[in-house]
Amino acid sequence: MFALFSKNHTSKIILSPNAESCIKLAAADLRKNLLSLSGKTEGFEFVTKEQNNAITITTDPVSAPNHIEGYSIEVNDDGVRITGSDALGTVYGIYAFATQCLGIDPMYQFTDIFPEEKEYIKLNNIHIASKEKTTRFRGWFINDEDFLSGFAASGSKRKITYNSDFFKEVISVDMMDMIFESALRCEMNVIIPCSFIDILNPAEEAIVAQAVKRGLYVSQHHQEPVGVAYFAAENYMTERYPDKAVSYVASPKEMEEIWRTYIKKWAKYDPHVIWQLGLRGKGDKAVWHTDGSMDSSAEKRGNIISSAIAKQYEIIAETVGHTGFLSTSTLWLEGAELYDKGFLKMPENTITVFSDIGDTQLFGGDFYGVTRRSDAKYGIYYHAGFYVEGPHHCDGTDSRKMVYCYRDAEKYSSLYFSVLNVANIREMCSSIRLNAAILSTSPANFDLDAYYTTVYPTLYGEAGAEVAELEKRYFDAIGDIGDRIGRQIVDLTDFHYYSIPDLSFAYYPLTDGAIMRMGCGMIGFWRRSIGTWRVYTENEENFQHVYGVFRQCVTDFAALLPDIDKTEKKIPANALANYRLAIRHKTDLMLRLCLWAVCCCEIKNGNDVMENQRRGVAYLQEILDLRKEFNCGKWQGWYDCDKRLDIPKRIAEMSSLQFTENKES
């Protein structure tokens, strides 16, 4: 047994002064955790000389487990030894010690679950050795970051023309560093740091630099090939070639110049860059929606995109001076069809990435239909957060569904690379933690029941099993508009729907964004260019089905609340705030969104429209009132930054409806 600290003693931390920056930062995080656990303001000093009764941190490929990013933790009477096979392995070892030996939640900076202060800690002798992971690259994408960019604005502006007001601010490096640390604690090694990042802006480059300093690989979203979002290209053209279009067909030399400019800037961080290759249009649409000079033939379109990818690959190789760099190309929407038909060619070493259908969080026909080459590598891009037809303010991706999809990804040889869209992080912690657990092993061997049994008691004490059951019931309460209507909606986009028989979870879940979209469609306040709302507003059978699902959701979410209240009495004090946010608040939110949607359906039917207008406004106002509890302390102002559901705007829309003789005018 080893005395880590006591009233009059703290262990020293032995660390080489030549350790890489990511190891030093992780060791500093460990020291911060130890100070918090002990209630001390000093102690746990860093030293370089080997000695007993200390925490020794080393990188030694010979002593550590023999695999990439491996680590071992040895605790005995003489101290603690954390050994990594490489720099990231050492980082993971440091954080694994914090999690497995000190009981610190990897997501504690967002869940606010931290162990209570202790007078002393004595550790039992133990040996922990990492196992090689099935998935080589594991990462997060910070996306649609309305909360983060408003709450943690750096004060630096972004130059972007987009139909929103929350991509204007650069997120502070301090907040991004919290995210990077949390990702590493979950043993992620890839980050797409935010939407539309422009590395030519020094404030945005600072985010990339900090991620690399932390030891992470940095990648780009699929609508930002080689770091160039359409908006960045548009700015570049406006400043230098105002008479030229953003078009690889009409302005190939200028586009290549833009790519070279951005690639040169990103190349500073090689080999920590995973380059995204592709050709996208404005607002994540197919390039031909923006570029009128594209041919109408699918084959010729594929040839043009393939040519652009080949040119990007060539420029990267020239810039970094080798062909051993990492690259991906994501088959999002139309890319899947072009690839499936053989019209889209990838460079030999590029990882081909399949996406789930964000609306459903299930893979589409392209994933199941495309033949995998034995000499190629494949990955997935999966959603815990997706707006508008998906979860953004609360978990909406059923835990059973995530396990199912990752098992299929492994089965179809598509798990060399994985990126999880995590939106604004704070509301997605349960999904994030589950995803990390799935990726810690082979998904085929992952046991969801064992996960709940093991992890939830560490978070919620003796109430762990009850919380796990409440979370399962929460997912069961999320409505499902089903395979038939789901297919009709998805078929109006460029996704490729795929029917899977006998699922035990929702095909097309009525998550927060889907409810808001459907409710707005019912009362005529939806302005998207694609008219998917007509599927359930203009077809009476579909409307009645959706209306019935909303009513059932109200019943099911309401039935959860008494048991949530009952379990709350058993929650440890240090986990209570998270329990109320992660379990109570998301149930309250979904209940009131569904109640509001029922009012929208009644208004569409012409039933007691003024009363339903009043009720609908009241339910939305209740959401704002409920948020106040979670909009305080260190999170003061968090929900004021909501630009996605935008409840105040929905209240204004609902209030503005005008009626004549009990009918909508």
Q: Helix count (H) and strand count (E) of the chain?
A: 24, 22
Q: 378 by DSSP, 3-state: which?
A: strand
Q: How confident is the model at residue 341 (pLDDT cuts 50, 70, 90)?
A: confident
pLDDT at 527: 55
Per-residue pLDDT, 333: 80
Q: How much of the chain exceeds pLDDT 90, in percent? A: 86
pLDDT of residue 337: 84
Angle at 139 between CA 135 and CA 141, to 5 degrees: 145
Residue 417: phi and psi, rounded to 5, are -140, 140
pLDDT digits (tens, 9 = 90+) for 290-322: 998 998 999 999 999 999 999 999 999 999 999
* Amino acid (1-letter code) at residue 418: S
For residue 208, give the amino acid letter: V
Vertex 251, ends 250 and 257: CA angle to 5°?
160
Q: Phi, psi at residue 46, to the nearest 5°? A: -85, 135
Q: Is a pLDDT exceeding 60 seen at residue 474?
A: yes
pLDDT band at 387 (very low <50, low <70, confident <90, very high): low
Quick one: the chain helix, strand, coil %, rounded to 5?
Answer: 50, 15, 35
The string of pLDDT tens digits covering residues 342-353 is: 999 999 999 999
> What is the predicted pLDDT for the residue at 660?
58
pLDDT bracket for residue 529 (50, 70, 90): very low
Residues in Cβ contact with 97 at an 8 Å cutoff, skipping those fewer than 6 apart: 30, 55, 73, 80, 82
pLDDT category at 530 given cuts 50, 70, 90 is low
* Reported confidence tier of residue 391, pLDDT bands at 50, 70, 90: low
H helix intervals, 214-286: 230-240, 252-266
> At 218, which helix (H) or strand (E)?
strand 217-219
So what's the pLDDT on residue 218?
98
DSSP 168-198: SEEEPHHHHHHHHHHHHHTT--EEE-STT--
Count of all residues that appear for the chain in the document: 665
Residue type, 201: N
Lowest mean pLDDT among 304-318, 355-369, 574-588: 355-369
198 Rama sector, left if φ>0, alpha if ψ -120 to 50, beta otherwise: beta
Ordered strands of the 9-10 beta sheet = 9-10, 2-6, 121-123
Q: Mean per-residue pLDDT for 646-656?
A: 93
Residue 502: band (very low, low, confident or very high) from pLDDT cuts 50, 70, 90: confident
CA distances to 115, 353, 383 from 468, in Å: 20, 32, 21
Mean pLDDT calculated for residue range 119-133? 97
Residue 665: which pLDDT band, with cuts at 50, 70 and 90?
very low
User: Which is higher by pLDDT, 420 or 295?
Assistant: 420
* Inter-residue contact 344 to 335 (CB < 8 Å): yes
CB 192 within 8 A of CB 142: yes
**Peptide bond before 648: cis, by omega within 30 degrees of 0?**
no
Give all domains of the chain, ordered by start, each with its CATH number: 2-129 (3.30.379.10), 133-215 (no CATH), 220-349 (no CATH), 473-664 (no CATH)
Helix (H, G, I), strand (E, B) or coil at 313: helix
Q: What is the pLDDT of residue 389?
A: 60
Mean pLDDT, residues 110-135 taken together: 97
Please report the pLDDT score of residue 162 as a whole number: 73
The pLDDT score that the predictor gives to residue 435 is 98
Q: What are phi and psi of 510, to 5 degrees?
A: -85, 75
- pLDDT of res. 619: 98
The region that residue 367 occupies, defined by phi over 0 for left and psi between -120 and 50 for alpha, beta otherwise, is: alpha
Give the chain's mean pLDDT: 94
pLDDT of residue 51: 92
Q: Is the pLDDT of residue 167 over 90?
A: no
Instruction: Of 250, 281, 254, 276, give the one whose Cα is nearest residue 263.
Output: 276
- Give the pLDDT confidence of 29-87 residue by residue, as tens digits: 999 999 999 999 999 999 999 999 999 999 999 999 999 999 999 999 999 999 999 99
Query: How far apart (Å, rounded) are the C-alpha atoms in residues 568 and 563?
Result: 8
Instruction: Specify the pLDDT at position 251.
Output: 96
Confidence at residue 662, expressed as pLDDT on a 0 to 100 scale: 45
Confidence of residue 163 (pLDDT cuts 50, 70, 90): low
Rounded distance, CA 665 to CA 658, Å? 6
Arithmetic mean of pLDDT, 204-221: 98
Predicted pLDDT of residue 587: 98
